[in-house]
C-alpha cells in the first residue's frame, strides 16, 4: 500500500504531507516496509530479462 492516498485519522490531512507527528510516523513506517516501492519498474524488467538470459545460457551449457 502506498501512503500517497492515505488520510490521517489524527489531523484529516494526507499522510504524505506529514503535517502532524502521527502522519510523519506513519509515513516513515510505510517507507521502511515498502521494499519495492522505490524500485524502478524498468529496472525490474531489466532484471527479469537478465535472469531469463542467464537461465537460457545455463540450459544450453548443460
pLDDT, position 47: 94
Q: What global pTM score does this model have?
A: 0.48
pLDDT, position 48: 96
pLDDT, position 35: 64
1-58, pLDDT tens digit by residue? 455 778 888 998 888 888 899 988 888 887 777 666 667 788 889 999 999 999 999 9
Question: CA-CA distances (angstroms) from residue 54 to 40, 43, 50, 57?
Answer: 21, 16, 6, 5
Alpha helices (H) along the chain: 21-33, 41-61
Amino acid at each position: 500500500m502506498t501512503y500517497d492516498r492515505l488520510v490521517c485519522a489524527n489531523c484529516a490531512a494526507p499522510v504524505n504531507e506529514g503535517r502532524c507527528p502521527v502522519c510523519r510516523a506513519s509515513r516513515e513506517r510505510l517507507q521502511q516496509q515498502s521494499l519495492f516501492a522505490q524500485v524502478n519498474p524498468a529496472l525490474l524488467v531489466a532484471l527479469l530479462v537478465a535472469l531469463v538470459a542467464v537461465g537460457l545460457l545455463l540450459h544450453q551449457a548443460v
